[in-house]
Amino acid sequence: MKILVTGGAGFIGSAFIRHMVKTYPSYHIICFDKLTYAGNLDNLREVDHRPNYEFIKGDVEDLNFLVWLFRHVDVVVHFAAESHVDNSLGNSLLFTKSNVIGTHSILEACRVSNVKKLVHISTDEVYGDILEGSFNEDAKLSPTNPYSASKAASEMMLKSYIKTYKLPAVVVRPNNNYGPFQFPEKIISRFSTRLIQGKKVPLHSPKPVRTYIHVDDTAKAIDVVLHKGVIHEIYNIGTEDEISNIDLTRKMLQFFGRDESYVELVDDRPFNDLRYSVDYSKIEALGWKQQISFEEGLQHTLTWYAENKWWWEQMSECQKK
């Protein structure tokens, strides 16, 4: 099987590639990435010597190139996207361009090239927030910021290709991912690198609750969906590991030996979802189970950032005062 992974040099995409290259030596895995600010080939160092791995630089908006390329692959796993909510509040048109137009190009190339299966990576944020209970896959989409709206829009475009062209696609909607190699703009990766440098952490709001899943568990879940997922179905990927922003911050402060004087409360987003939660029983029915607990995964992740300054010190985001 030949599998092309868009956005494969990014955080979740690279975790998926590392897993697939090592697990399936008979598969040929292609990393397709534009290498924007969050795309980093250092994320794939441990597999770049493997004979079943290949890197191709390219843009998901380049339809002609995609059509040519997709004629030579069996499966496309589409991660490529702008994904940071804060960035979408300042430059939302970039998110529409990348997440909607880029996805439309992927869909058209899959259609023209007769790709056997497309796995589209969405997000739990397309549902909006929920104060109690959990969203199942049939819940209506109610995005509340430009990022989640662009991801919901890309899903609507995909749905139209399923209805009109019977495109063989499945969708996954994961919880918040964390782990090694995450660009330092999300709360765990950014706060870790700042605390290591002895800098204060900018906390938007202590109240919001998020549910976290280790990126390696997400990679294995997408593997399960790729092999066992039913065409045209949607699968939530989640855990029960809920924690508020302030409690998560306190765990990181404790780990790095800092006190609460290192927390700087900053202006919140114009609107901040209070809680995300998904019902993931559908993917569990395919045989997937969470393997990395939050406590274990968080300790491992914070240790990784402490021991791998070479990876993140070069990034300008970490050097902001």
CA 11-16-21 angle, to 5 degrees, is 130
| pTM attached to this predicted model | 0.95
pLDDT value at residue 274: 86
Is the pLDDT confidence value at 88 over 60? no
In the block, tokens 């630089």 appear at: 57
Which is higher by pLDDT, 282 or 36? 282
Tens of pLDDT, residues 118-167: 999 999 999 999 999 999 999 999 998 888 999 999 999 999 999 999 99
Tens of pLDDT, residues 173-183: 999 999 999 99
- 3 state SS for the chain: CEEEEECCCCHHHHHHHHHHHHHCCCCEEEEEECCCCCCCHHHHCCCCCCCCEEEEECCCCCHHHHHHHHCCCCEEEECCCCCCHHHHHHCHHHHHHHHHHHHHHHHHHHHHHCCCEEEEECCHHHHCCCCCCCECCCCCCCCCCHHHHHHHHHHHHHHHHHHHHCCCEEEEEECEEECCCCCCCCHHHHHHHHHHCCCCEEECCCCCEEEEEEHHHHHHHHHHHHHHCCCCCEEEECCCCEEEHHHHHHHHHHHCCCCHHHEEECCCCCCCCCECCECCHHHHCCCCCCCCCHHHHHHHHHHHHHHCHHHHCCCHHHHCC
- Rounded Cα–Cα distance for residues 64 and 62 (Å): 6
* Residues acting as catalytic residues: 124-125, 147
Among residues 35, 31, 25, the alpha carbon closest in space to that of 3 is found at 31
pLDDT value at residue 321: 45
Q: Are 275 and 144 in contact (CB under 8 A)?
A: no
Query: In this structure, is the dihedral angle defined by the CA atoms of residues 38, 275, 292 and 22, taken in order, positive or negative?
Result: negative
- Rounded Cα–Cα distance for residues 298 and 201 (Å): 17
Confidence at 266, pLDDT banded by 50, 70, 90: confident
Q: Give the Å distances, CA to CA, from 94 to 10, 85, 101, 186, 294.
A: 17, 12, 10, 19, 33
Q: 2-183+211-242+275-295 in CATH: which number?
A: 3.40.50.720
